[in-house]
Amino acid sequence: MKVKQVIATAAIIGVAVLLVLVLRRPGAGVRAPLREEIGSRPLSESTTNQTRRPNLEQASSAANLHGGPAPGASEAVLSDGILGKLSRIEGERDPSAKEALLSDLVAAIPAAEVPKVIESLWSKQVSAAGRELRTRLIRQWGEGNPRAAADWLLSRPAGDLRAQALGIVASSWAGKDLGAAVEWTSQLSSTSERQSALIQIGYEAGRTSPIEAMKLAAGMPQSVDRDDLLAHVASQWAGKEPQAAAQWAHEIPDLDMRARLLGSVMVAWSDQNPAEAAQFASQSLSADDSKDDIVVGIVQRWTQKDPETAAQWVEQFPEGRVRDAALENLVQIWSDKDSQKVGDWLNSLPEGGSRDTSIAAYARKLTPIDPHLAVTWAESIGEDSLRAKELQSAGETWMRADSAAASSWITSSSLPDAVKARLLASKPK
């Protein structure tokens, strides 16, 4: 057991040292938000047919795969049967039925015909169903015989379509043999294709071997896609070893990257065990780590699981912006779960700023549902300016929903006469 712990610790230290060296390079910070295109997300998550599939291990010789495309491949056309099925899939509106039709079509295509069908669909102008069929066939081929699939794809013209397809194969390959997939990328002459393939390999490795994925990402040149991968893998690692992942992220020298990775880790950790995540945040994080945003994120997730305990934690915060933001999120989320308990909790709070902030958040939540109850709560706010603000806001909303009842309340309320006149004048014509 001690030997395993030493090995695991050494691996983590190795990743941390490598990332420290990489992330100290100029311009290693985060430069853009997460992107959603095919090149920056895991490609293995699409639904695939896991049952009836051709034997693609034997497709290489049948389709002349190692020597480039089969003769006349550039003239390949889809059979009437496949065209008809694609047309039916395209017109199907029921998602379940569409998925069943597509899965059946993938399973029905013989292994030897897969390259020809992919060739026929090798265009950005194909239908959505055609693009999905192409993607699934490439992925399936990559799972069965990744080297043959990669060799065939490299015989295609260079461009975005080929790079995306190579990424799909690389991801499938990594799921079978991570080392072989990584070694294969060194043979790619195109820097962009190599980087794209490595990114997809990293996402796949992150599912089962996050430390290996971290090592892989650390060796890549800085880019938005590389930074996205680091954030994703950090989250995956936190799902297995949150304490180790958080400690590693906390030691990254680049402040922007540290804040981003800590955010990914703490989100994953608070989904599992918000109490432990809260303890780490309280004891280990500083303003440089974007602590305020992380704390509010923990409160949001903790409230979903155990609002009473989350409330006890928030009550310990010092007065200030973070406490106010945490209280607002707590009340908003808790109200959706049990509004009555929120009211009981508010009544238990001592007079002061935190109680006023919480009641204001509760009144805003109630206004669209029960404006009379909302103004009743708002009237109990101790701070004059905040009370007036919430009463006016609730009154405006109430006037639009039920001007007669709202007018009756406004007339007898404690609002200044000028405010009353303005609200009453807003009565819908």
Is-contact 173 150, C-beta < 8 A?
A: yes
Greater model confidence, 397 or 41: 397
pLDDT at 268: 93
User: Tokens 């990114």 label which residue?
Assistant: 199
**Residue 32: DSSP 8-state:** S
CA distances from 407 to 284, 381, 384, 423, 429 (A): 53, 21, 22, 8, 14
Gap between the Cα atoms of 144 and 203, Å rounded: 19
Among 213, 175, 219, 176, residue whose Cα is nearest residue 194: 219
At residue 35, does pLDDT exceed 80? no
Q: Using CA of residue 236, residue 240, residue 245, residue 246, what is the dihedral sign?
A: positive
Is-contact 274 310, C-beta < 8 A?
A: yes
**Residue 38: DSSP 8-state:** G
In this predicted model, what pLDDT tens digit does every residue of 291-321 receive, in sequence order?
Answer: 888 999 999 999 999 999 999 999 999 888 8
Gap between the Cα atoms of 300 and 364, Å rounded: 18
Question: What average pLDDT does the chain have?
Answer: 84
pLDDT at 12: 54
Structure-block tokens of residue 28: 């290693």
Label residue 10 by pLDDT band (50, 70, 90): low
Per the confidence metrics, is the pTM higher than 0.95? no
Structure-block tokens of residue 247: 């400690």
Map out the domains of the chain as residue ranges. 34-197
Among 356, 308, 351, 352, residue whose Cα is nearest residue 330: 308
For 125, other C-beta atoms within 10 Å of its C-beta total 6
Among 215, 272, 204, residue whose Cα is nearest residue 238: 272
pLDDT at 33: 33
Angle at 205 between CA 203 and CA 206, to 5 degrees: 65
Structure-block tokens of residue 14: 């190795």
Is-contact 121 130, C-beta < 8 A?
A: yes
In this predicted model, what pLDDT tens digit does every residue of 146-195 receive, in sequence order?
Answer: 999 999 999 999 999 999 999 999 999 999 999 999 999 999 999 999 99
Burial of 343 (0-12, 13-18, 19+ CB in 10 A): middle
In this predicted model, what pLDDT tens digit does every residue of 49-71 receive, in sequence order?
Answer: 444 444 444 444 444 333 344 43
Question: SS3 of 361, please?
Answer: helix
Q: Rounded to the nearest 10 degrees, what angle do helices 321-348 and 291-305 cross at?
A: 30
In this predicted model, what pLDDT tens digit does every residue of 124-151 receive, in sequence order?
Answer: 788 999 999 999 999 999 999 999 999 9
